[in-house]
Structure 1
Amino acid sequence: MRDGVASGPETLVRDVLQGLAEGRFVPGQRLIEPDLMARYGLGRSTVREGLGRLAASGIVVQMPHRGAQIRLLSRRAATDVLRVTEPLLGLAARQAAEAVAAGTDPAPLVEALHAYDAAPPGERPRARGRYYRALTQLAGNAELERLLPMLQVHLIRAQLRLNRPAGGAARKALVSAVARGAPDAAEAEARDYIRALIAALPGLPDSAFAPE
């Protein structure tokens, strides 16, 4: 990116990630190079670079002679992603609450939550990203800022679009605990939400997942 303008590969990567959140792209969908070239006005090498970045982050799988497709997680893989996410998100919430207890203003996180809840469907992916960035920035842990975006939680959101537990109440409870400077409660709220997602996985149809 230069001067705030995304490069060709970054444009493709960002739109695929946003498209997953919006339902324009779905897990298991093939990504055809000529279609992507026409859609984004990019050359073949640029499209391949973007697909390579998506593959490196675990969003896309590239198969010899079959091209690229958005990764469809198996039930076990989805469970494993969430099990890794649970302690990390819990730690982010705990450290954010500790920062508030030490005198840091929680207003940016509260404002990001309100913006997320009020965002229209097309703006929700960006609002969600701002909300989670506000949480990790308040936590002040650079490793969490680096690690959390690398997890494939957005793939799980896409796969569970119609089946996942509503998150609005959980977010409000988490932010309330952070804003009170209550680390134990903040961590518990974060972890409880992820556990609710894990608990929902066994009841979903096999068609929602890749074969084990």
Structure 2
Amino acid sequence: MSPRTTDRQTVADEAYTVMRRAIRSGDLMPGERLVETDLAERWGLGRNAVRTSLARLEQDGLVERSPFRGARVRVISEAEAVEILEARSVLEGLAARHAAGRVTPEGLEELRALLRRMEEHSRAGDLLASSDVNSQLHRRIVELAALPIVARLIDGLHAQNVRHQFRTVLAPGRAAQSLQEHRAIVDALATGDGDTAEAAMRQHLAHVVETLRSLQKPR
């Protein structure tokens, strides 16, 4: 492989990472139209790199393209969102189990600091900021588990679920309940009890599923 080919590949990989992160964070929202020239200008990317990235994101199931409508961030159905959460429950439960055996005092302090930030945002009524910290806490637990394959699978599931994540955190009473559930997860990690940590994580995500399903019911 020539140095020029390597450079092109590096640029394409960087573009893919930037755009994937934007979808996962909600910076690019479900249903949003993706215009190559706009995306290239927004992030200072080449159009070829953007085009290649859109093709990769389509393969990931994060983007959909059609001949007449162009590319858009794919909107997943609520049934898909429930399935994603159920899959996350299994994988993140496994991550919590392993994290319980590997977490250090420093790691626990990081998690407790994130809990405090969640509580501060919730108290201030900034539920979307609390949701963002919530995601950081989940991500840190996965990192502490040190399971690279599981981490990669979880990352793919998170990226597809932005719209539904925002909807559930805004449900009445959900923020306070979520905070309690996350405290239970961190407390279980602190004891080093993998069984309890896994059960607490799975219960938390089961409650998220219940909330999402309740939002689907006719009013």
Q: What are the Cα deviations for residues 129-163 of structure 1, in whole angstroms up to 9, with x where unaligned?
A: 65344322332323222221121x34434234143
Q: Does the 8 Å contact 1:116/1:124 carry over to 2?
A: no
Percent identity over the alignment? 30
- Alignment-derived partner of residue 75 in structure 1: 78
Root mean square deviation of aligned Cα: 3.3
Q: 1:124 to 1:43 in 2, by over 3 A?
A: farther
**1:135 maps to 2:141:** yes
Q: CA deviation at 1:9?
A: 3.5
Residue identity in the other structure for 1:14: R
Structure 2: gaps (5+ residues): 1-6
Residue identity in the other structure for 1:202: R
Give the number of equivalent residue pairs.
196
Q: What is the TM-score of this pair, normalised by structure 1? A: 0.75
- Alignment-derived partner of residue 36 in structure 2: 33
- Alignment-derived partner of residue 207 in structure 2: 196
Q: CA deviation at 1:128?
A: 5.5
Structure 1 runs (4+) deviating above 4 angstroms are 119-130
Structure 1: gaps (5+ residues): 207-212
Q: 1:143 to 1:160 in 2, by over 3 A?
A: closer
Q: What is the TM-score of this pair, normalised by structure 2? A: 0.73
CA distance in 1, matches of 2:129, 2:79: 31
- Alignment-derived partner of residue 153 in structure 2: 147
**1:95 maps to 2:106:** no
CA distance in 2, matches of 1:131, 1:109: 11
Q: Which secondary structure state, in structure 2, belongs to the residue aligned with residue 72 of structure 1?
A: coil
CA distance in 2, matches of 1:124, 1:193: 16
- Alignment-derived partner of residue 161 in structure 2: 156
